[in-house]
Amino acid sequence: MAAQEPMRVLVTGAAGQPRPPAPPIRAVSDPMRSRLGRPGSGQVVEIHSKWGQIGYALVPMIARGVMLGADQPVILHMLDIEFAAEALKGVKMELIDAAFPLLKGVVATTDVVEACTGVNVAVMVGGFPRKEGMERKDVMTKNVSIYKAQASALEAHAAPNCKVLVVANPANTNALILKEFAPSIPEKNISCLTRLDHNRALGQISERLGVQVSDVKNAIIWGNHSSSQYPDVNHATVKTSSGEKPVRELVQDDEWLNGEFIATVQQRGAAIIKARKLSSALSAASSACDHIRDWVLGTAEGTFVSMGVYSDGSYGVPAGLIYSFPVTCSGGEWTIVQGLPIDEFSRKKMDATAQELSEEKALAYSCLA
């Protein structure tokens, strides 16, 4: 059996140290795009991180095959700003020293053209964080500028089949802006990360019931990657010795499921910051791997996961939003799970988070004026 071609994975913000906000990426036309982006020529996963911690946590996971599979060789492309150039060299040294069998090469660069050419997967972790005294529109203006520029860079340099995962907040709306300014990238190839919230929901159920998290499945995150998200366990099940059982049947505490459970998942990021004095990095990196792996390699039969994707109007969600839905994946494509019954409690929660996304969209578009 012939050895697989290495997939090129681009990670930006991988230096793992504090740095000033990155300047906007300028798009440069790339006549080599069609040749360098041909299928099978490699894969580039692009990750932007203000502090670098998610990118730094993600790099060894990719090199070990967590993202793309245990038999898939990779060539890592790492992009960072000039401020972090020396630290980036250090990360390259560490990767070489780790002697990962799947890692077939490492490129460390501050040149966005060198890094982005031929990218097949882009994981966008970086954005402009809200600082004390800033209004929402100020933050949105900064992020619109960043994602408009990054979209242009992807438009110019990415492979035609590029898959994009946006992590930086406001993730859903950042993904929507990126979609608007990278029109050659299919809308089905642009997503945002709600898998972290999905995994948090699975973890809370696992802890509550004292079962293995691998035995819990089909929780859903609806809507925005924010505190308005709706973690829904109405369709979630747990594998038991007597077969799969509904989570609600096993927990037998609707007050907890409709109250504390939802609030815990919604506020988990803030709780980690309070405890760690830093935002989630390890869990975010792991969830990004889960998101891409399922998207590329497929979900297990009978299992669905949560992805922020472009709404087609399913479940009464306004079309034109990037909204988290339950999806299955096969052949490198996601499909929204259809026909799930929605009760009145869920409907209100789903509508509320959709309203927040509509307001964010309007604010973002006003920043473009």
234 DSSP 8-state letter: T
224 annotated among ligand-binding-site residues: no
The answer to whether 235 is a known catalytic residue is no
Counting residues of the chain whose pLDDT is more than 70, the rounded percentage is 88
| Residue among 48, 157, 225, 235 flagged as catalytic | 225
277 DSSP 8-state letter: S
The stretches of 50-194 forming alpha helices (DSSP H) are 53-63, 85-98, 112-116, 136-157, 171-180
41 DSSP 8-state letter: S
Q: Which of 52, 86, 164 is nearest to 119 (CA)?
A: 164
| Per-residue b or e along 325-363, where b marks 16 or more CB atoms closer than 10 Å to that residue's CB | bbbbbeeeebbbbeebeeeeebeebbbebbebbeebbeb
Tens digits of residue pLDDT in 63-76: 999 999 999 888 88
Within 10 angstroms of residue 319's Cβ, the number of other Cβ atoms is 10
343 annotated among ligand-binding-site residues: no
Residue 50 pLDDT more than 70?
no
Please name the residues in contact with 39: beta carbons below 8 A apart, sequence gap of 6 or more.
Answer: 159, 161
Residue appearing with tokens 């709306």: 173
258 annotated among ligand-binding-site residues: no
CB 197 within 8 A of CB 306: yes
Tens digits of residue pLDDT in 75-105: 888 878 788 899 999 999 999 999 999 999 8
CB 169 within 8 A of CB 225: yes
161 annotated among ligand-binding-site residues: no
232 annotated among ligand-binding-site residues: no
Both structure tokens of 258: 């409709």
Residue appearing with tokens 């494509």: 333
Tens digits of residue pLDDT in 336-354: 999 999 999 999 999 999 9
253 annotated among ligand-binding-site residues: no
Mean pLDDT of 168-176: 93
Tens digits of residue pLDDT in 188-199: 999 999 999 999
- Cα of first residue to Cα of last residue in the chain, in angstroms, is 55
Decide the pairing of beta strands 237-240 and 216-217. antiparallel
Position with higher pLDDT, 159 vs 34: 159
Which residue type is seen at 367?
A: C
Chain mean pLDDT for the chain: 87
Which residue type is seen at 220?
A: I
For the chain, domains (ranges, CATH) are 7-192 (3.40.50.720), 195-360 (3.90.110.10)
347 annotated among ligand-binding-site residues: no
Record the pTM.
0.89
Residues in the chain: 369
Q: How far apart are CA 302 and CA 294, in angstroms?
A: 13
